[in-house]
Amino acid sequence: MAPRRGALGLLGGLACLATASSVAGQGADLAPGERVYRENCAVCHGVRGDGQGMAAHHFLHKPRDLTKGRFKFHSTASGQVPTDADLRRSIVQGVPSTAMVPQDHLSALEVDAVIAFVKSLSPRFAASPPKVLAIPPEPPRTPDAIARGRRAYDKGECAECHGREGRGDGPSAKDLSIKPTDLTKRPFKSGPGARDIVRTLLTGLDGTPMPSYYQVLEDDELWELAWYVDSLGGPPAVTEDERWGWHVERMHQRRSR
């Protein structure tokens, strides 16, 4: 473990450089958020937020480059930046099955501060606030809803990527650099409920091949499809990325104390 500790020392030094560059041109006091970031996030997302933290190479799913302002998980239209609430969800709940383990050891104030700092890393957040895409009201869940959900799966051509049985093995899957999710495996990254699946279908996952179905599927179809996808799920599993994420987090907390 010695080389790792050495690199953490280096990290502290680099952090001073980041202070100077990222605070320039910002009115708000970003120092508290930057401190939280340095102690809890930089090890994976990099001191400058470029996703090149010292632990990044361990993971199959790479830590997000936060300077690009392009996020997978948001309640806003495809291509738009997330809201504060979206960032809070990703940070506090984490991204299951990846190294982004829940950062639930942070206080509410620390989370708010780190959100402000994350937003300072990309100029895309400076534009007008993003518009939330409303999740349509949940229709009554009748017995044949799941059968209709299966039809929506065909209409949306989900099988092209996710495969006929949802196992992530559709004809296009082999050509994609980010593999389509095996929809029979749990947990999902975007959250545990059918509502989270509806959000994923509405917004798409930016920076991945997962498209937005906003105005492609009807409101009821979105819910029926979400129930169908939900019904494919098996028991939750733990991935290598997650195990490594816990390891990195513990190592880091020891150091921050």
Residue pair 45/55 in contact by the 8 Å Cβ criterion: no
Q: Which residue of 208, 212, 231, 239 would you call a contact of ligand HEC, by CB under 6 A?
A: 208
Q: Which residue of 38, 48, 64, 199 would you call a contact of ligand HEC, by CB under 6 A?
A: 64
Residue pair 236/187 in contact by the 8 Å Cβ criterion: yes
Rama region for 94: left / alpha / beta (φ>0; ψ in -120 to 50; rest): left
Q: In terms of CB distance, is 139 or 195 closer to ligand HEC? A: 195
The footprint of ligand HEC on this chain (CB under 6 A) covers a number of residues equal to: 52
- In the region spanning residues 144 to 163, those forming contacts with ligand HEC, defined by CB under 6 A, are 153, 156-158, 160-162
- Find the angle CA(30)-CA(81)-CA(201) to the nearest 5 degrees: 145
For CA atoms 66, 173, 185, 199, the dihedral sign is positive
Q: In terms of CB distance, is 17 or 178 closer to ligand HEC? A: 178
Query: Does the protein bind ligand HEC through residue 227 (CB under 6 A)?
Result: no
Q: Which residue of 18, 47, 54, 100 would you call a contact of ligand HEC, by CB under 6 A?
A: 100
Please report where in the chains the tokens 């680099």 appear, as a residue: 14
61-88: b or e for each residue (b if 16 or more CB lie within 10 Å)? bbbbbbbebbbbbbbbbbebbbbeebbb
Residue 23 CB, nearest approach to ligand HEC (Å): 17
**Residues found near ligand HEC in the complex (CB under 6 A):** 40-41, 43-45, 55, 59, 61, 63-64, 71-73, 87, 90-91, 95, 98-100, 103, 114, 118, 153, 156-158, 160-162, 172, 176, 178, 180-181, 188-190, 197, 200-201, 205, 208-211, 213, 225, 229, 245, 248-249
